[in-house]
């Protein structure tokens, strides 16, 4: 019929209805949407709209049934997160349309929830429900993944104090475990699969005048004083993360990046932590030249530290930064790094 009457809109409407009857809803939806775009006959337009409404009702019922079935299994009731990954600008419009359909929201809201760089926490809830949403999104071409909070908590975190020895193939570190017990750990560089970098803002309280000069009153303002640098190395076979932080690495202990004379050693004591940290990173990086580096934490941290404080406040994050003002940026980095770990 379509070959014989390619321009007949009633034929296209019947084909859409036929696809609907044989449960090929995506194909039916394409025909109905094309009719809304091309048709001028009010009856055809009305029936195409009714077809789209029927499809939406069917999909909603299926989604609700799948979620109810998933929740009946106790394993699927564990708390988790659904993460949306970056979407290219050319794919954003189609992704927003699909996200709106899956989550039953308007396309503008859906578009605002997609970003071109980095990851974003999209939803918290029971892992079974998140998995169903996630699978629908993946099917629609939206890059997502999901993770259980309990899996995040199972990852071992070792906070490096200093290198005891280092070679081209392996290293030995002195570190603290989750119980703050000091010990040694040996590992091969080949065990490291991912490297995660982050900058964590250190805040200070400052006093400032009203910029609009409406009053001479001094106001208190929170400002970024500095940034703590952090580097995580992921060892998936040991389910472990080795964590370096420029604020508490003991530069005066263990090995340094080069052999120093007495004068050079005295000069090193006077240099800033920033230059010492750079030397440390420059010593590590050549050993991990082929390892993927994740450095898009900042955009994730901005949203997570602002919108997900309840989740972050429950996480044990194992970052030792002396702070005058507490912040959610530390647990946000821990969450980001552990999500990278679980995804890969």
The per-residue pLDDT for 172 is 97
Output the six-digit token pair for 145.
């993944």
Q: Which residues contact 195 (CB under 8 A, 6 or more apart)?
A: 231, 232, 233, 234, 288, 291, 292, 293, 294
Q: What is the pTM assigned to this prediction?
A: 0.79
- pLDDT per residue of the chain (344 residues) written in tens, 0 to 9: 555 555 677 888 888 888 888 888 888 888 888 888 887 788 888 888 888 888 888 877 877 777 777 777 778 889 999 999 999 999 999 999 999 988 888 989 999 999 888 999 999 999 999 998 999 999 999 999 999 999 999 999 999 999 999 999 999 999 999 999 999 999 999 999 999 999 999 988 777 666 665 555 666 677 888 899 999 999 999 999 999 999 999 998 988 655 455 555 555 555 678 889 999 999 999 999 999 999 999 999 999 999 999 999 999 999 999 888 889 999 999 999 999 999 98
Domains of the chain, by residue range, sit at: 9-71, 74-151, 155-343
Classify strands 182-188 and 156-166 as parallel, antiparallel or unpaired. Answer: unpaired
Domain 74-151 of CATH type 3.30.70.360: no
Q: What is the structure's pLDDT at 41?
A: 81
At 78, list the tokens: 């564990």
Strands (DSSP E) found in 5-86: 79-84
For CA atoms 97, 100, 103, 109, the dihedral sign is positive
Cα of first residue to Cα of last residue in the chain, in angstroms, is 49
pLDDT for residue 258: 54
Q: What is the model's pLDDT at position 339?
A: 98
Give the per-residue pLDDT at 30: 84
SS (H, E, C) 163-216: EEEECCCEEEEEEECCCCCEEEEEEEHHHCCEEEEEEEEEEEEEEEECCCCCCC
Q: Which residue has the tokens 């995804």?
A: 343
Residue 180: exposed, middle, or buried by beta-carbon count in 10 A (0-12, 13-18, 19+)? exposed
Rounded to 10 degrees, what is the CA torsion of 139, 93, 105, 131?
20
pLDDT at 21: 83
């Amino acid at each position: 019929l379509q070959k014989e009457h390619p321009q007949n809109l009633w034929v296209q409407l019947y084909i859409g209805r036929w696809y609907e009857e044989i449960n090929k809803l995506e194909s039916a939806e394409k025909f109905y949407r094309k009719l809304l775009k091309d048709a001028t006959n009010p009856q055809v337009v009305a029936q195409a709209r009714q077809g789209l409404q029927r499809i939406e009702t069917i999909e909603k019922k299926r989604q609700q049934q799948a979620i109810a079935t998933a929740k009946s299994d106790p394993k699927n009731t564990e708390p988790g997160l659904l993460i949306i990954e970056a979407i290219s600008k050319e794919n954003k419009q189609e992704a927003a349309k699909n996200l709106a359909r899956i989550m039953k929201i308007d396309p503008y809201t859906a578009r605002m929830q997609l970003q071109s760089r980095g990851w974003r926490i999209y939803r918290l809830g029971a892992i079974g429900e998140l998995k169903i949403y996630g699978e629908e999104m993946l099917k629609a071409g939206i890059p997502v993944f999901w993770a259980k909070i309990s899996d995040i908590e199972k990852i071992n975190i070792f906070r490096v104090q200093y290198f005891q020895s280092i070679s081209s193939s392996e290293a030995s570190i002195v570190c603290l475990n989750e119980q703050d017990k000091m010990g040694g750990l040996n590992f091969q560089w080949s065990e490291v699969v991912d490297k995660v970098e982050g900058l964590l803002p250190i805040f200070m309280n400052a006093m400032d005048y009203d910029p609009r000069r409406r009053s001479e009153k001094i106001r208190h303002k929170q400002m970024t004083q500095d940034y703590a640098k952090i580097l995580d190395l992921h060892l998936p076979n040991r389910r472990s993360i080795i964590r370096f932080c420029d604020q508490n690495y003991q530069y005066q202990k263990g090995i340094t990046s080069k052999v120093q004379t007495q004068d050079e050693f005295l000069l090193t004591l006077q240099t800033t932590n920033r230059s010492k940290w750079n030397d440390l990173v420059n010593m590590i990086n050549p050993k991990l030249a082929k390892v993927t580096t994740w450095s898009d934490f900042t955009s994730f941290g901005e949203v997570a530290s602002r919108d997900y404080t309840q989740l972050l406040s429950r996480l044990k994050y194992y970052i030792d930064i002396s702070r005058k003002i507490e912040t959610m940026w530390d647990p946000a980095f821990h969450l980001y790094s552990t999500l990278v770990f679980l995804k890969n």
